[in-house]
Amino acid sequence: MRARRVTTLLVASAALLACAAIFDEPDGESGVARAVAAFPGGPNFVLECRFSHRNNDDPIVYPGRPGLSHNHTFLGNVATDAATTPFSLLGGKSSCDFDADSSAYWAPTLYLGRRAILPLEVFVYYVRRTSAPVKPFPAGLTMIAGNAMAMRPEALKLAAWSCGEPGVGPFSATIPACAGKRILQLRITFPNCWDGARLDSSDHKRHMAYSSGGTCPASHPVALPTLVLVLLYPETPLSAQVASGRFGLHADFMNGWDQVMLASLVAGLN
């Protein structure tokens, strides 16, 4: 397995964020809040992914119905299409740099007119952002972050554009003018609290929730890693927009991890 990069980043990130005993302070909640304020917001490991393919499929929203969705850019599992399920992903080839992860990740395709703009590179962060220990994603989990139907800006902490290196703002709801040939960045943050029962829900969101101040709500008591997708694009004109519309920033995840390896990596976050 190509584990060296993931393991190195995990150890380095955990060491940096654990220093000063952030989670052991008397005001633990404010300590967590300060950790989250700095990207990526806690102990983490990260995968580096390449563009895999694009099509008009969405195996979460339109399972078994090819061509019904707006165009998506797929990362991770190279065989993802409308017929994909979490269990069909297992053991599949991936465009990410870690063989144990055959998960599927996708986001709406960025267009300039009719020309698709493909990401130069994508980073997939798995981050502990809760004071409680996190558990690995359960086998079969699917989820969506953001709103493909949004007609107004979403919260910038959930979906936002910026210029330059990952995690560095300022952030905006629409594509900014990136000066000096700086790359364009799209960051999508997934919910990190699970209800402990459902692997999906009718809107593909209600089985998940976001933590607040490092704590999961009582309705979703199981703390999971926060999944953050950072897509890096070449210098892009302001007139470009994603296939789901000006404010329709979102991303999808379907778990295809080797659960033993995922559990080992997530244990390191604790």
CB 238 within 8 A of CB 177: yes
pLDDT tens, 39-74? 899 999 999 999 999 999 999 999 999 999 999 999
- pLDDT tens track for 82-119: 999 999 999 999 999 999 999 999 999 999 999 999 99
Q: Which residues contact 124 (CB under 8 A, 6 or more apart)?
A: 46, 47, 48, 49, 75, 76, 96, 105, 227, 228, 229, 230
pTM: 0.86
Task: Say how far apart CA 253 and CA 106 lie, in whole Å.
Answer: 7
pLDDT value of position 37: 54
Give the contacts of 231 (CB within 8 A, at least 6 positions apart). 73, 107, 119, 122, 185, 186, 187, 188
What pLDDT does 166 receive? 78
**The pLDDT value given to residue 118:** 97
Q: Which two tokens stand for residue 44?
A: 């983490």
Task: For residue 116, give the 3-state DSSP assignment.
Answer: strand
Q: What is the pLDDT of residues 175-205, one digit of tens each?
A: 999 987 789 999 999 999 999 999 999 999 9
For 112-116, 180-184, 224-228, 253-257, which range has the lowest pLDDT when averaged over its residues? Answer: 180-184
Length of the chain: 270
Residue carrying structure tokens 């990207």: 39
* Phi, psi of 126, rounded to the nearest 5 degrees: -115, 115
Q: Measured between alpha carbons, how far is residue 102 from residues 3, 66, 95, 128, 259 in Å?
A: 14, 21, 9, 21, 11
